[in-house]
Structure 1
């Protein structure tokens, strides 16, 4: 798979999504590489067209990027209603449900922003459509530090295989902390018949679990880069068979 193809697809969907933003809107900004490309495309419109917007970033890196590009930036406290939110995803199923949080671990922030938005637009390259969520990636959970042992025990009782997300620091593996100072626990469930709505509710009922990386029934539009084309699907539409990469 060509990395240049993937980058090109990300650029195309980022540019397409930026064209949907209207003057005077409050715009939510997701996190990740594709979302960062969207921010750069949006900055071009702000500069070249004098587009007037307010950006609400979902993470510190995206906030720093918006500030560096001179995009007016605010918080949800200041603008609690967002007109349009543009974000990426790790997996998108046929019904436009999402699995997020595979890399950046800011899915709690992203979910709050998405829930505050009138329209959630997801931009992805051709690798992201799947027949079923939780095919390529574990489900991430943001977890309070003191609840780690309890959460691991409950997940195992549910048939899950949990692990702590770690990263290298000074040559040693240490827990990766979220911007809120919490842990990220990743869990695999091998049961192919699992229902994600029920699972999501059960996971969030575990004391100490703040949020999950499952975004169910939240997406209004998905834009998929396929070669030199952008395929667009709206809420209620199903992704076609030929776009499903993983089954």
Structure 2
């Protein structure tokens, strides 16, 4: 067993919360039991993930997408009520880190995506955007196949970039607007989770490959790395639950 407060102090210190102005509260969002033996991690604190944590007997759920986003209805009813009721009834802590988890140099979604995709020399480019090189140059079709194999999800490819891709930029999740940063850096391709209507025209007209690899698919890995780090540091159990999401 480990004390919840000790775990929270470690997490908040590792993720440097003071450096971020975010769209949601980072850290402990729902308080549960004071002692933790098992942590369940997942991308989003959906009802399916909460139910899975209950089945696993977890005392803490650690996610990238938690609750209480700016601009959302503050009333506790419907879907929000059901999720909170389940957490409170089983005395489960809900912990969420959004931008701090995207940005972290070791556990972050961007750093971990580089590991999964075997991107060489990954470094921050500008803000949350990273850049690196492929192990060997690939055509757009070859890189699409590489993404599909590693992420278990076929990407959407648009754009008219170089015949072979070597230098790429990426930012996980809904980061399609950062394609302009990849263009400014002269990169061959840009990868994010989601695509929007203007992204297609930018990629076609500015001469860059763009790959929408899935918001959920690109953000599965940071929270797992963070959960494993906690397990090592505190001698507790960690289990990741991957709730299917095609987006």
User: Quick check: TM above 0.5?
Assistant: no
Q: TM-score range by the shorter chain?
A: under 0.3
TM-score (norm 2): 0.27
Larger radius of gyration, structure 1 or 2?
2
> More helix per residue: 1 or 2?
2
TM-score (norm 1): 0.27
